Amino acid sequence: MATESESKTIADVDGVEILLSNARFELMPFESFDEEITHLPDGATIAITTSPQLGIDRTVEKTETAVAQGYEVVPHVAARYVEDREHLEEIARRLTEAGVTDVFVPGGDREEPAGEFESALDLLVALEETEYEFEEVGITGYPEGHAFLDDETLRESMARKEPYATYIVTQLCYDPETVLEWIVEVRDRGVDLPVEVGIPGVMKYQRLLKISQKVGVGDSIQFLQKTTGILGFVRQLIGSRGTYKPDKLIDGLAPYVVDDAYDIRGVHIYAFNQTSDLESWRLDRLRR
């Protein structure tokens, strides 16, 4: 009979395998997209963002291309980029015809909405009223809060969006404890949607920190420093040749993956179109 220590080790190993075997890779629909997806496994699940520069139609185009190449694609239908109900109908039609069964609906980070949809909730309600249905619909979760919305507003927003959704994707976070505490708090509020934990991929520290500041990640930026103090952070940066790898996140989440109370379905990796090093790291972790 396995001891408690041995059982935990087994759970950790199983958790790592579940997280990384079922990972979702988020890419941006830039010119590098076609090259970046070639580094990912055949049939991988790819989330495609909505770009402020290129708009949502580029997301739909890249979705159609990637699906035709055999990937499972989850396009971001960002509310503030959709012009009106006619535009939404057109997007839903094209995605359905392409074979898409899963969409992610964030509010979108453009300052002024392109049309009538101010929020993700607005678009979710309108999507429900179309003739098109998707098996899976994701919404956003914020373990560290939102740069412009208070916690109470976020809680109310999730409660109103939950009936239209089938899962949650969390915003980028470096600290597994923060994510786990947030999931417990969400469960205590009666939200039982499975969670895809958003984690950074593999990239240079300097670039990752700049991205983190842009997307409004708060205290978890400090997690890279506080794990061993500032001197440890500097040693880690130098020792890793300046490259961040999400090992601590994966190891911190792994023991909880098999716990139904958390219902962690997998990781949503923010690859930032840096897939070659990310995939090398992922495969190496799975071989350990």
Tell me: pLDDT of 3 over 50. no
Residue 134 φ then ψ, to 5°: -120, 140
- Tell me which of 180 and 11 has the higher pLDDT: 180
- pTM confidence score: 0.87
Residue 181 φ then ψ, to 5°: -65, -40
In a domain, 41, yes or no: yes
Please report the pLDDT score of residue 209 as a whole number: 65
Angle at alpha carbon of residue 72, lines to 129 and 213, rounded to 5°: 85
In a domain, 172, yes or no: yes
In a domain, 139, yes or no: yes
In a domain, 83, yes or no: yes
- What is the count of structural domains for the chain? 1
In a domain, 226, yes or no: no
Please report the pLDDT score of residue 212 as a whole number: 57
Please report the pLDDT score of residue 101 as a whole number: 98
Helix (H, G, I), strand (E, B) or coil at 137: strand
Question: What value does the mean pLDDT of the chain take?
Answer: 87
Please report the pLDDT score of residue 60 as a whole number: 98
In a domain, 1, yes or no: no
CATH number at residue 55: 3.20.20.220
- The tens digit of pLDDT for each residue in 137-193 reads 999 999 988 767 788 989 999 999 999 999 999 998 888 999 999 999 999 999 999
Q: What is the mean pLDDT of residues 264-284?
A: 94
In a domain, 124, yes or no: yes
Residues 285, 267: Cα–Cα separation, whole Å: 14
Positive or negative, the Cα torsion across 169, 172, 177, 178? negative
Q: Which of these, 250, 243, 233, lies nearest to 199 by C-alpha position?
A: 250
In which band, very low, low, confident or very high, does the pLDDT at 282 lie, cut at 50, 70 and 90? very high
Least confident of 105-109, 190-194, 264-268: 105-109
In a domain, 45, yes or no: yes
In which band, very low, low, confident or very high, does the pLDDT at 12 lie, cut at 50, 70 and 90? confident
Q: What is the mean pLDDT of residues 40-69?
A: 95
Residues of the domain holding 43: 12-204+244-287
How many C-beta atoms lie closer than 10 Å to residue 107's C-beta? Answer: 22
Looking only at the bridges linking them, the beta strands covering 203-204 and 243-244 are antiparallel
Alpha helices in the chain (DSSP H): 4-21, 33-36, 56-68, 85-98, 120-128, 151-161, 176-188, 205-214, 220-226, 229-239, 247-253, 275-287
Q: What is the mean pLDDT of residues 115-129?
A: 96
76: tokens are 């971001």
Helix (H, G, I), strand (E, B) or coil at 7: helix
- The tens digit of pLDDT for each residue in 214-237 reads 544 444 445 445 444 444 544 555
- The tens digit of pLDDT for each residue in 62-80 reads 999 999 999 999 999 999 9
**What does 40-97 look like in DSSP terms, one character per residue?**
SPTT-EEEEPPBTTTBHHHHHHHHHHHHHTT-EEEEB--GGG--SHHHHHHHHHHHHH
